[in-house]
Amino acid sequence: SLYFFLVSHPTVIISGDDWGNLTSTRALYPQWGIANPIKVMPELGYPLFAKLSTALIMPLGFGFLESFSIITAIFITILLSLFLHQLFQLFNVNLSAGFLRSSIFVVFFYASIFFIFLKEGNHENLYMLWEVNITCFYHYIAPALINSALSIFVIRNYRNFDVNILKRNGVWYSSSIFFASYIAVFSSMFANIILAITCGVTLLFSLINNKLSITQTIKESTLQIFTLTAWVVAVIYEANGGRAASLGSGSLDIYGTLSVLNYLIEQVQPAFKYSATALVSIGIISSLYSLIK
């Protein structure tokens, strides 16, 4: 992945937004009424990594553009590695799929990220982590990877967020989990919905397992409740932001959305398209058989 983002598709500054965001600043908390009220991670992370690149990479003999590209590639690679690690742990540990089968699945998923699409115009090969410029990597790709990795972590450990268990795990461990949740929620509304849905579903499972005992469920689901509360706050702030106001003045182009979806499906490699259809069909048939049986 690091080689890919450094050589095959380098993340470089190419637009006015890329340059302008280098000097942008904001608070570490959501801000009412600004253009992007909740984008704490992207709008602080972008200039932060730019400064880190000048301190850590430039002394090695690279220019600023190369240094920022290198540190961004390292950042995205680390996030992708964390996501794939959580995915592997989910299959290997939680679902007991075994090391070999779990490894095959993760390798297949990793390969699909970069090879699922055919060539597309002047963009050459699209891929699932493709973005138009380096700013979008921080605003969309990074939040998606953070929320996805944390969502799998929550699925794997949703019964281990009891207050007493968190105390036994220590302050640093517990604090880091809640901080990661905060960063995930206040990164992008397009991405934090992944984590919000995951926390909502696991919270519902806990409520059912506790025989609808709200008190016991709250005690056992501190991270989910914290995350969902933060997400509601994020929704309120974002709904009153400048970007939401501009989007709200437009129309909902359902036909255009479906056309784009159809176009993307047409770009998918036939091997992936047919294998995915087969896997989904087998899954549906197996589920129906289990229900009938």
> What is the residue extent of each domain of the chain?
2-248
The fraction of the chain above a pLDDT of 70, given in percent, is: 91
pLDDT of 264 > 70? The answer is yes
Per the CB < 8 A criterion, the answer to whether 138 and 46 are in contact is yes
Mean per-residue pLDDT for 210-224? 86
Query: Confidence band (pLDDT; 50, 70, 90) for 67?
Result: very high
The pLDDT value recorded for residue 252 is: 62
The conformation of residue 268, written as its DSSP 8-state character, comes to B
Query: Confidence band (pLDDT; 50, 70, 90) for 78?
Result: very high
Cα gap 217→228, rounded to integer Å:
14
Mean per-residue pLDDT for 156-175? 85
CA atoms within 13 Å, Cβ hemisphere of 241? 20
Contacts by residues 261-266 (CB-CB < 8 Å, ≥ 24 positions apart): 264/117
The pLDDT value recorded for residue 226 is: 94
Q: Which residues does 215 contact at the CB level (< 8 Å), separation at least 6?
A: none
Highest mean pLDDT among 18-27, 182-191, 254-263, 274-283: 182-191
Residue with tokens 């919000």: 196
Mean per-residue pLDDT for 138-159? 92
Per the CB < 8 A criterion, the answer to whether 110 and 263 are in contact is no
Per the CB < 8 A criterion, the answer to whether 2 and 77 are in contact is yes
pLDDT, mean over the chain:
85
The fraction of the chain above a pLDDT of 90, given in percent, is: 38
Query: Confidence band (pLDDT; 50, 70, 90) for 282?
Result: confident
| 120 vs 221, higher pLDDT | 221
The pLDDT value recorded for residue 149 is: 96
Q: Considering the entire predicted model, what is its pTM?
A: 0.85
Residue 86, both tokens: 């959580």
